[in-house]
Chain A
Amino acid sequence: MATNVYMEALSPTMEEGRIVKWHKHEGDPVKTGETLAEVETDKAVMELVARADGVLGQVAAQEGQTVPVGSVVAVIAAAGEAAGASPRPPATIPAPASVPTPASAPGVAPAVTASGAPRPAARAGAAQAISVPEARAAADATRVKVSPLARRIALETGLDLKLVPGSGPGGRVVKRDLERVAPVPAAAARPATAAASPGPLPLTPAPSAPLSVQPAGASYEDVPLTQIRKTIARRLATSLGPIPHFFLTTEVDMERSAEARDALNRELGDQGRVSFNDIIIKATALALVRHRACNAWFQDDHIRYWNEVHIGMAVAIEDGLITPVIRNADRRSLAEISRAAHELADRARSRRLQPDEYTGSTFSISNLGMFEIDEFTAVINPPEAGILAVGAVALRPAVHDGQLVARRRLRATMSCDHRVIDGATGAAFLRTLKQMLENPLAMLL
């Protein structure tokens, strides 16, 4: 019996995946658990493994191609079975629990083309999707399910349909989805564009992200969103829009933290190096223990106050950012935090983080000090209620013991979700944090 190989949901938020590389090719024997392909998800590059023994065949997704979760990307034919055996309907295969109803019939995936041309094969998939109406089939990178009206509105208003989560049958983008993203303006008083037939959207294949201004050619370049950029867009749009943010800034004297850092590093010798960032993580975690009101998730109908402190640490990576989590940061030593932060950041940059390494944080810190940013505001990472934006530690004039002197100072700005944290609550937390950083010995209390 042939086994379908599905694009699996390799991360909790994954809706589609890009085949980076096939490790096995048509005709290769494969064993259960062996890596078939590397898949770029919205968060990282993950491995797609074989769920059966046999011979790989009917590879339906090419390297570089993006396919929705639940699509059949290949078939594993059982030993003795003709390699070209037609893939059985998905019903015969116990699909992984996280995989929604296969939205595409075998043979659909390869038809995903950059031209966005209509595909008759999609009909079979549509018929299957109907049996489970609540299944929201994910859109792939090059094709968007959209109603004619929504497509027309998007064309006229310049909205990018790929950024709009569809709420219609099978994840179809409908008018109300566009209204959620941006109010659809009332029709302007102008003659009807009767000839403007709503054809397929012009789409371009994905070039690599532009790193610098291209000197020649077109005045602009359209770059399709990478998986991670799409997730960032969606996640952040659910933050600054609906969350009532407010911001609290404080300036912290870092002289004694600097002394502590230097002393600790002398102690550690070649066993590691503690940075300001590590001290800030530790101090934040300890301050959160004392101010549980800031260590919370907003959950629509309730607020979850955490008794554990898991600090999300924003890490810039090549085409986006990700927040790996330092778990129980309040209970870990500075040396441990330093090691964990280092290792997580490295793996984030090489995109090898496991899903449990970047989910579940209770509070986040974003540090742009290395870019010599004095101060900034960060966007809350929902459902968390707060995020700390940390600027550079820099020599600044300060009044110390009645004298104007140059001191190493740092500005930290906390973004608060006002639904959870009130002004005084956030300010009290920030004062504790400031005290800890200005007198690191307080962390021992």
Chain B
Amino acid sequence: MATSKQKNMTPQQRNYQQLQQKHEIKRPVLKNCIKAFFVGGIICVIGQAISYFYIYYFDFTEQSVGNPTVATMVFLSMLLTGFGVYDRLGQFAGAGSAVPVTGFGNAVISAAIEHRTEGFVLGVGGNMFKLAGSVILFGVFSAFVVALIKTLLVIWGVL
């Protein structure tokens, strides 16, 4: 918790929070990390297999196989989300299923399903990026900043 918040608390609040912490059930961090490692790893292995499949059977190279692989993974994630499996996987795997691109797909698709009852425009259109929107915004912005720095370094002859 932020220190500024702690400062604003009364002694009574601070005492209570100490008492409450004793009863709070802690997240099993180590267990969660192990589960995340294996589930995340398995998802990546599946992605790698799909990549090899496209390279081996179709006309893709190691550089160009990224897009069809990501599209396939997101499509699978969509199916699993729609059938109500991905949220259960997420509860088990945590970051393991949230960090790969399938987790990103799940964030978009679950919001779209959730707000279908408010119609296509105000519901699906207005809400499907409510979780993923900030990832896209700050992802694109960070990429822009990094590219800008690299460009400047090249111009100045550092790189």
Answer yes or no: do A and B interact. Answer: no
Chain A interfacial positions (CB closer than 8 Å to B): none
